[in-house]
């Protein structure tokens, strides 16, 4: 299957699974906060070193985030998020030829990032904030629409679904229709069921088991499973010790149709997916 997703000036070729490397420019992200953002400023050299490492390791996309969405994280002001994200995007664009994704729900951050050369807008709130749909449409970039039940602060309190898969499918249907009406063409839309966002461990594992049923309009699916706490429902593992489980989850997701995996550990994931891809070529 060849499928090309236009990401600004670049094309994302999804004829094989792709790796999105996580680049958090935050003081407080759950697994890697504070490494690239210290003393209220972006550490540009550290950002560039991390970007270079991830690209060398096989990242196809770099996902820059300036707002932690873990429950209990402090809210970040627009000015602060803008400063974090654009600082990193600008530095990466000047140095590397790659697709930059921006993990943000803020329309101003989206618009500024697009202007600076980002290729993909990744919104865990599914472009629900005021002005986000317009920002997405005007940017002309690709968009990743993620499903979340509730809001980050309270989403894990008591997640509840009538029918998990049907509910998520319905959400995709509504969002895709709304994005299309706003002017985002179908070939630019990527879907993400949002592992860990308003889901119990049982919800997360069921969603993974049935990922191949999420085929709304045959749009490409992105998943974020890396180091997530669903792993600890099975294994007692610290955040730094979730690599092997994360690789298994990423591989299972790709086996069930996911085309992009968002991960902290790029090299290990790229190796695992290279094996999956090679196998898939002999699956005749």
Q: How far is the CB of 279 from ligand 7PJ (least distance, A)?
A: 25
Stretch binding ligand 7PJ (CB under 6 A), from 37-45, 92-100, 178-186, 192-200: 192-200
- Burial label, 103 (beta-carbon count in 10 A; 0-12, 13-18, 19+): buried
Please enumerate in sequence order all residues whose Cβ is within 8 A of that of 29, keeping only pairs 6 or more positions apart, or say none. Answer: 65, 68, 70, 73
Q: Which is nearer to ligand 7PJ, 95 or 167 (CB)?
A: 167
Is position 7 an interface residue for ligand 7PJ (rule: CB under 6 A)? no
Q: Any catalytic annotation for residue 90? A: no
Is position 269 an interface residue for ligand 7PJ (rule: CB under 6 A)? no
Is position 119 an interface residue for ligand 7PJ (rule: CB under 6 A)? no
Cβ atoms of 109 and 66 within 8 Å: the answer is yes
Q: How many residues does the chain have?
A: 284
Q: How far is the CB of 95 from ligand 7PJ (least distance, A)?
A: 24
B/e letters for 187-196, b = 16+ CB within 10 Å, e = fewer, are: ebbbbbbbbb
- Burial label, 22 (beta-carbon count in 10 A; 0-12, 13-18, 19+): buried
Q: Any catalytic annotation for residue 199? A: no
Is position 127 an interface residue for ligand 7PJ (rule: CB under 6 A)? no
Q: How far is the CB of 234 from ligand 7PJ (least distance, A)?
A: 17
Q: 10 Å Cβ neighbour count for 278? A: 10
Mask: binding to ligand 7PJ, 139-178, rule CB under 6 A, as x and -?
A: -----x-x--------------------------------
Strand partners, 62: 21, 100
Contacting ligand 7PJ within 65-104 (CB under 6 A): 69, 103
Contacting ligand 7PJ within 51-70 (CB under 6 A): 69
Total of chain residues touching ligand 7PJ, rule CB under 6 A: 15
Distance set, CA 29 to CA 72, 75, 161, 223, 255 (Å): 11, 12, 27, 18, 29
Is position 195 an interface residue for ligand 7PJ (rule: CB under 6 A)? yes
Q: How far is the CB of 243 from ligand 7PJ (least distance, A)?
A: 14
Distance separating alpha carbons of residues 60 and 248, to the nearest angstrom: 20
Binding site for ligand 7PJ (CB under 6 A): 22, 30, 69, 103, 122, 124, 144, 146, 192, 194-195, 222, 224, 228, 262
Catalytic center residues: 228, 262
């Amino acid at each position: 299957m060849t499928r090309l997703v236009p990401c600004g000036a670049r094309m994302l070729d999804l004829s094989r699974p792709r790796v999105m490397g996580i680049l958090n420019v935050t003081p407080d992200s759950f697994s890697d906060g504070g490494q690239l953002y210290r003393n209220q400023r972006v550490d540009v050299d550290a950002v560039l070193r991390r970007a270079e490492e991830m690209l060398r390791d096989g990242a196809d996309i770099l996902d820059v985030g300036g707002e932690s969405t873990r429950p209990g994280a402090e809210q970040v002001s627009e000015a602060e998020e803008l400063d974090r994200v654009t600082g990193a995007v600008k530095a990466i664009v000047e140095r590397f030829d790659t697709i930059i994704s921006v993990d943000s729900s803020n329309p101003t951050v989206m618009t500024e990032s697009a202007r600076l050369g980002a290729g993909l807008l990744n919104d865990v709130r599914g472009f629900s904030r005021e002005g986000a749909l317009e920002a997405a449409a005007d940017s002309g970039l690709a968009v990743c629409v993620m499903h979340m039940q509730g809001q980050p602060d309270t989403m894990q309190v008591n997640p509840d679904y009538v029918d998990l898969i049907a509910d998520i499918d319905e959400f995709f249907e509504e969002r895709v229709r709304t994005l299309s009406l706003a002017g985002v063409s179908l070939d630019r839309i990527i879907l993400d069921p949002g592992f860990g966002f308003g889901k119990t461990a049982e919800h997360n594992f069921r969603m993974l088991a049935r990922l191949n049923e999420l085929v709304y309009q045959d749009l490409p699916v992105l998943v974020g499973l890396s180091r997530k706490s669903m792993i600890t429902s099975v294994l007692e593992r610290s955040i730094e010790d979730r690599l092997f489980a994360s690789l298994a989850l990423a591989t299972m997701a790709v086996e069930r149709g996911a085309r992009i995996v968002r991960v902290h550990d790029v090299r290990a994931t790229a190796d695992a997916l290279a094996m999956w891809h090679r196998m898939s070529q002999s699956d005749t």
